[in-house]
Each structure stands twice: as structure tokens, then as C-alpha cells.
Amino acid sequence: MSYNNLLLEMHGKVALVTLNRPQALNALSPELTAELSELLDHLEADDSVAALVLTGNEKAFAAGADIKVMKDWSYMDVYKADFITATWERLSTFRKPSIAAVAGYALGGGCELAMMCDFIIAADSAKFGQPEITIGTIPGAGGTQRLTRFIGKAKAMDMVLTGRMMDAQEAERCGLVSRLVPADQLIDEALKAAERIGELSAPVIMMAKESVNRAFETTLAEGIRFERRLFHSTFATEDQKEGMNAFFEKRKPVFKNR
């Protein structure tokens, strides 16, 4: 597999995918998002891959959708192509754990892409924003919806209506980011978190992820029922037996992913 706009490195069972259009601050061109979607299909199908870390470079995770490509599109162009659904949204349906490791700008579609990951680890240099309003449009890949669910209406309105950027400290305080680390430790920290997840039971991790995501899609009562059914399902796995037996035998569990 070789891509024009992405780099793939395997670290054990963790796929480190780097957005790689540094000359345009990793602006998310249709070619880049199509490549990412295709790569995610491969990573999801490959049993040797346990988790994904998605990153950019020191200056930018991604500065948004590619404005140069978009600027002359007509209403019919974007409507007929249903810009942006399939390729961008692929990340939000990726079933394995995904971590965004963000340094520098995560703006517009870049912030939206980071929010499609399961959680965001940010370098102290990270800057988040939904500046679409400043170029005459609005977020189009879930920004108004995910940001509002993650940080609440007041801050989401502030970000979306003014287009201002939020620094990494503010993003951590308001819950957009799960961990904040010095820039030179970003990739190590994200890989360590992903490697830890990769040591655990893959099917149970998928259930945990599905259950947390359900919190955004349903009522509390339905979500709790959904969680209970998946909790029950873990008892059908060999890994639950291994995990609980290992606890009493005072040893590290060895999960078989069954």
C-alpha cells in the first residue's frame, strides 16, 4: 500500500497514520480523505492491527478541508457528491480504537476529523477551532454536532460563531482533549496508550467503544440497557474468564481475543 498524502508505520499492533501534506498544513483534499478511507478499510480488516493513532506534524494536525479545491464548487457540485459523507465519515465508523495525536492546528475539518477518533491526546502547541464562519460557510463534517456534545452549547457557540481558536489548555479544561502532553512526548504518549489498549481483549474493547458511543445516540435508559446487554455478552468470551481468573491467580492476563 502506498499513498500520496499519508504515511503508515506499524508499531507492533498499533498503526501510526500520519497526514502528510505539510506544504498545505495537511489540508484535507478529496484525494487525502479517499486515501484515508481506503487505508481504514485495510486496517479494520487486518487482524494484526489492534489500534490506530492518527497524527499530523508539529505545525498542523490538519488546517481543514482544502479551501483551494472547494472554493469554486457550486451548490450542485457539493449536493450531488454529498460532500462530505462517505470518505470523511469512514473514521467515525472505524470499529477499532482510534486516538488522535494533535499538535499545532486542528481547524475546521481537521478538528472534526480529530473528534471522530475515540479520544484526543494533544501537545501543548495544539490549537483547535471551527473557523468556517470566517470564510463564509459552516462546519460540514459534524463540527456543530460533535463539538456541542463534547464541550457544551456555550463554548461550541462561541467557537462556531466567532471562529476563534482554543489553545490546548482550554481544550483540556473543557473536555475536548483527554490528555495534554509536552509536544516532544506526543507520539510516544499516544502510542503507549494505543499499545496498552492493544494488550487488552479486542472484542471486549470493541464492545466498550460501541457502548460509550451509544451515549451520544440514545436516551439514558436505552443506553444503560444497551450497556447491560453488552456487559452480559462479555461473559460469553474466553477473555472474560481469562481476565477474572488471572486476577485471582495474581498474574497478568493473556487475552486470546475470543
Task: Rule CB under 6 A: say whether 56 interacts with ligand HXC.
Answer: no
Shortest gap between Cβ of 152 and ligand HXC (angstroms)?
21
Span near ligand HXC by CB under 6 A; candidates 36-44, 49-57, 117-125, 127-135:
127-135
Nearest to 158 by CA among 118, 128, 115: 128
Give the span between the Cα atoms of 129 and 49, in whole angstroms: 31
Give the span between the Cα atoms of 54 and 124, in whole angstroms: 17
Which one of residues 141, 171, 180, 187 is an interface residue with ligand HXC (CB under 6 A)?
141
Shortest gap between Cβ of 59 and ligand HXC (angstroms)?
7
> Taking a C-beta distance cutoff of 8 angstroms, is the pair 40, 86 a contact?
no
Give the span between the Cα atoms of 238 and 201, in whole angstroms: 9
Tell me, yes or no, if 109 is annotated catalytic. yes
> Taking a C-beta distance cutoff of 8 angstroms, is the pair 32, 60 a contact?
no
Span near ligand HXC by CB under 6 A; candidates 5-13, 49-57, 115-123, 139-147:
139-147
Task: Rule CB under 6 A: say whether 68 interacts with ligand HXC.
Answer: yes
Task: Rule CB under 6 A: say whether 53 interacts with ligand HXC.
Answer: no
Span near ligand HXC by CB under 6 A; candidates 8-16, 57-65, 196-204, 207-215:
57-65
Tell me, yes or no, if 143 is annotated catalytic. no
Task: Rule CB under 6 A: say whether 64 interacts with ligand HXC.
Answer: yes
Give the binding-site size for ligand HXC (rule: CB under 6 A). Answer: 20
Give the span between the Cα atoms of 54 and 119, in whole angstroms: 11
Which one of residues 118, 132, 172, 189 is an interface residue with ligand HXC (CB under 6 A)?
132
C-alpha cell at 190: 499516544
CB atoms within 10 A of CB 183: 15
Cβ nearer to ligand HXC, comparing 39 with 113: 113
Span near ligand HXC by CB under 6 A; candidates 103-111, 113-121, 195-203, 228-236:
103-111
Nearest to 101 by CA among 155, 46, 168, 157: 168
Tell me, yes or no, if 51 is annotated catalytic. no
Strands 165-167 and 127-129: antiparallel
Q: Please list, in sequence order, all residues whose beta carbon lies within 8 angstroms of the beta carbon of residue 218, skipping any fewer than 6 positions away.
A: 226
Q: Which amino acid is it at 111?
A: C
Shortest gap between Cβ of 253 and ligand HXC (angstroms)?
42
Cβ nearer to ligand HXC, comparing 97 with 109: 109
> Taking a C-beta distance cutoff of 8 angstroms, is the pair 194, 52 a contact?
yes
Catalytic residues: 65, 109, 112, 132
Given the rule CB under 6 A, which residues bind ligand HXC? 24-25, 27, 63-68, 84, 105, 107-109, 131-132, 135, 139-141
